[in-house]
Structure 1
Amino acid sequence: MNKIVKYILIGILVLGALWAAAFFIKTNSKSAITYEVQNPFISNIEKKTVATGKLIPEDEIEIKPQISGIIEKIYKEEGDEVKSGDLIAMIKVVPNEQSLNQARGRVRNAELALNNTKVEFERNKALFDKGVISSQDFNELKLQYDQAAQELENAQADYQIIRRGSAGGSSSANTNIRATVEGTILEIPVREGDQVIETNNFNEGTTIATIADMSSMIFEGKVDEGEVAKLEVGTPLKINLGAVEGEELDAVLRFIAPKGIEETGAVQFKIEGDVEVKDDVFIRAGYSANASLVLEKKDSILVIPEALLQFDKETDEPYVEIAEGPVENQQFERKDVEIGISDGVNVEIVSGLTESDKVKVWNKTEPIKKGEDEETEEETS
């Protein structure tokens, strides 16, 4: 029995050795990976960045009332084109009771003063006609009478302004809210019946409407602090709108903020660009947009695909491997290189290579043949 077990173990060991030898021979019989090569070439590189932002009118005017009250009537709608002087809304004045009472009392006092002066004036006029008083005394009384009449007129005008918002029914009445510039009404944030506050030195007042010239638009966006130093005023921009597919607008950088704003741990700088609005493209205020900016550009320089670069693990310096002799020999040597700008696809070679060098293409993978794939599955099973 022991001999049988012994023979079985010997047989298993022999079969295992034979299988291992066969597997080793088959594995080493596969052809070695053949690396391709690529020559450096002359090309242009543009290093770009994208700034996100929006399109806004260059000039937005807020129309505010000169008197407090309630919106009685709105004559325009958002999106309407207006000219300077067009009536937008009308305000109904709700006077302050105390101010109204004081103005009414001032009118009454002016009437009493005028009546008293009138009596004196008429009495002395008769005396002047008879030669009893001098011309100088009569002229002084006439001046007092004229001043009293003017005071009454002023008091009555003030009373009407407090009561109605204006001294008369002219088109320049404070209750009439009119456009001050030509443009498009972007927003009317109030409705009929809303109470509004006048603009003064202590209060900016309620906005009745916002008007802007839609033919003059600017791009307003932000760029990272790592890229702002490479920007210059006058740099051309390409504007892409999220709401208008397939349209690209030209713009010119006109402003770079001198102070950055920290957002989510990164410092951002505001930029502005003048946009050339096309007649056949309707632009709405507030469209989100992306601006493509060229940070750096070089023409006719020696480049290689960035995927051919390797970096030393210790020094982090870039290098490539170039072929020694014929490519069929698959013999390569390391060559340190100095690189310049990159656009993410190609990278500039400042020194270390020439156009005749054959640079090794890394990470070559061979497709698995169908027969080999089936054999691998059988071995695994």
Structure 2
Amino acid sequence: MKRKKILILGAALCAAALAAWSLRSKFSKPGRYGGRVIEVMQGSIEDAVEATGGVAPLNRVEIKPPIAGRIEKLLAEEGDAFRAGQTLAWMSSSDRAAILDAARAKGEEELKRWEDSYKPTPIIAPLSGVIILRNVVVGQTVAASEVLFAMSDNLIVVAQVDESEIGRIRPGMPARIILDAYPDWPVAGTVFDILHEGKNVSNVIQYGVKIRPVKVPSYFRSQMTANVGFIASKKEDALLVPSSAVRESASGGKQVMVPGPDGKPVAREVKTGIETSDRIEITEGLAPGDKVLLVGSRYVPQQAPQSSPLGFGGRRPGSSSEQQGARSRRRQ
């Protein structure tokens, strides 16, 4: 029984050693680089300053009633567009509301007589824009200080940019707007104003930057969260390599590793342009179709052919004919 267990254990160890030797022979090719080979590609790359913000009205106007009274008729709903001077609602003063209530108790003729002689008061749009808030219903009694509507002439995006990055932002700079609610629908915009007063947010000074969309989408809503990329520079058909393929040379410049004629990595000096978190533009030193080696990979030097760990094709290191003879004598 003991001899059977020893044989089973020995067979398992032999199988594991054979598998390890096979894998090593497969992946450690003599004279080959042990890392990934990446082809230089052409594409677009941009240097962008990222910030977050939200959709906001450029000019927000709150509309209050001219007098205290009761709302008789509403003509505006949220999202409706109005021109300056158009009527948003009709209301009765407190006196007119009391008279009409008394006349209504006397009959339709009395009510109509007072409605014709005592006209309601209109609530007028002060500017051309869109209703973004309706805070009243028909029949509601309102005070003269109560906000009935809010209007906006245009919806823009205001992004908060850190003090360390604000120097890279300038009016006229293109921007890319992506709303959290619509992540697959980017909107093009342009910077038109940088606020002069900063805000301290968690001990970081931030400045508001206003972006005007080229075309305001219908799904824009005030207070929506927006992610903005301010495009500082952009290049089409640039030569691009992964960031991990570029390292600093001994002279302080930049270099990449390329496969040599014998498969060994060779350093090549390059000049770089726009850099992002995962890609780098190569302006000199490489051409389309060239191949580079990733920096993090390890070069496996050429080695002498290895024998099987089981002794096939040669003796196992450390074995001798005397040792083999001793094993034979023990088995006998």
TM-score (norm 2): 0.59
Match of 1:322 in 2: 258
Distance verdict in 2 for CA 1:181–1:323, change over 3 Å = closer
Match of 2:190 in 1: 252
Q: Equivalent pairs: percent with the same residue?
A: 22
Match of 1:368 in 2: none
Aligned partners of 1:217 and 1:277 also within 8 Å: no
Aligned partners of 2:199 and 2:206 also within 8 Å: yes
> Alpha-carbon deviation of 1:193?
4.2
Quick one: which of 13, 28, 39 aligns to 1:32? 28
Match of 1:165 in 2: none
Aligned partners of 1:319 and 1:337 also within 8 Å: yes
DSSP 3-state at the match of 2:193: strand
> Alpha-carbon deviation of 1:31?
5.0
Aligned 1:1-381 pairs, distance under 5 A: 29-33=25-29, 34-35=32-33, 37-38=37-38, 40=40, 44-67=44-67, 69-79=68-78, 80-83=80-83, 84-86=85-87, 88-90=89-91, 92-93=93-94, 176-191=122-137, 192-197=139-144, 205-213=145-153, 216-243=154-181, 247-277=185-215, 282-286=218-222, 287-298=224-235, 302-310=239-247, 319-324=255-260, 326=261, 329-335=262-268, 339-349=272-282, 353-355=285-287, 358-361=291-294
> Alpha-carbon deviation of 1:217?
3.0
| 5+ residue gaps, structure 2 | 96-116, 299-332
| 5+ residue gaps, structure 1 | 1-7, 95-168, 198-204, 366-381
Q: Distance in 2 between matches of 1:315 and 1:206?
A: 71
Q: Distance in 2 between matches of 1:342 and 1:362?
A: 17
> Alpha-carbon deviation of 1:307?
3.0
DSSP 3-state at the match of 2:158: strand
Q: Distance in 1 between matches of 2:37 and 2:88?
A: 75
Q: Deviations over 1:204-254 (max 9, x none)?
A: x432222334xx432222233343222221122333444457544332211
> Which has the larger Rg?
1
Aligned partners of 2:176 and 2:231 also within 8 Å: no
CA RMSD of aligned residues (A): 4.5
> Alpha-carbon deviation of 1:47?
1.5
Aligned partners of 1:88 and 1:179 also within 8 Å: no
Amino acid at match of 1:196: A
TM-score (norm 1): 0.53
